[in-house]
Amino acid sequence: MIRRFALVLVVFAVTAGAGDAVACPPDAAERAAALRERLDAERARAARWRLGWGIGFGVAAIGQGALVLAEYTPLGDYDEAAEASLIAGTAKSLVGMGARVIRPVKVPRPKVTGDPCTDLAAAEDAFARAATSEKRSFWLNHLGGLALQIGGSLYIGLSVDDAWGDAMISFALGYAVGVTSTYMQPRGAWREHRRAPEARTWHVAPLVTPHGRGLAIGGAF
């Protein structure tokens, strides 16, 4: 007797948008207030990070630019390699300051309507958008900082003979500062949102019928 095996795909239970049909939780007002409180704290942290590092990069840019104008360096002789390093450092500091002004971490402020369900939905949406902004800023700072340091090192190494040692020092110092700034960026909303349970679920189970055997694959999303 030839046994026949069948692979059966169970129709998925589509529940996309089911959040609209879920009844408003009895503690919606309290949950919305708690989310707004966390958003306020995250917004304050983002503002402090932006201001602190913006001022820090601005001071570094002014200081290095002043040394170029004065043709002086506190570390050894002021030669072509030292000048190129200071120019590259000034440019990198200006870019770092500008990045925190042009593309800051955005933590939205949800509207409060007085309706518990509407306010909870608005707070949850604002929290999700804050998490997305923190994630995007984190990775852009990583990738953009790396590209910036490589560009500054190439400028030093290619514009001055035998200055690749200075270029590597500039890269190491600049990258260390950039990574420190990136990891000090507020990421609370991103962490909490990432730990939230997934809305999509999948299930696999064996299926035995008089005509064959297979797998039943089901899911809800």
Tens-place pLDDT, residues 171-183: 999 999 999 999 9
> What number of CA atoms fall less than 13 Å from residue 11's CA on the CB side?
3
CA 67/CA 83 separation, integer angstroms: 9
Tokens found for residue 164: 């690749």
Chain segment 24-82, per-residue pLDDT in tens: 888 999 999 999 999 999 999 999 999 999 999 999 999 999 999 999 998 889 999 99
Chain segment 152-166, per-residue pLDDT in tens: 999 999 999 989 999
Query: pLDDT at position 206, please?
Result: 57
Q: For the chain, what percent of residues have pLDDT higher than 90?
A: 68
In the chain, the N- to C-terminal Cα span, in Å, equals 41
Sheet harboring 201-209: ordered strands across? 8-9, 212-220, 201-209
CA 99/CA 144 separation, integer angstroms: 10
CA 51/CA 106 separation, integer angstroms: 14
pTM, two decimals, is 0.73
| Mean pLDDT value across the chain | 83
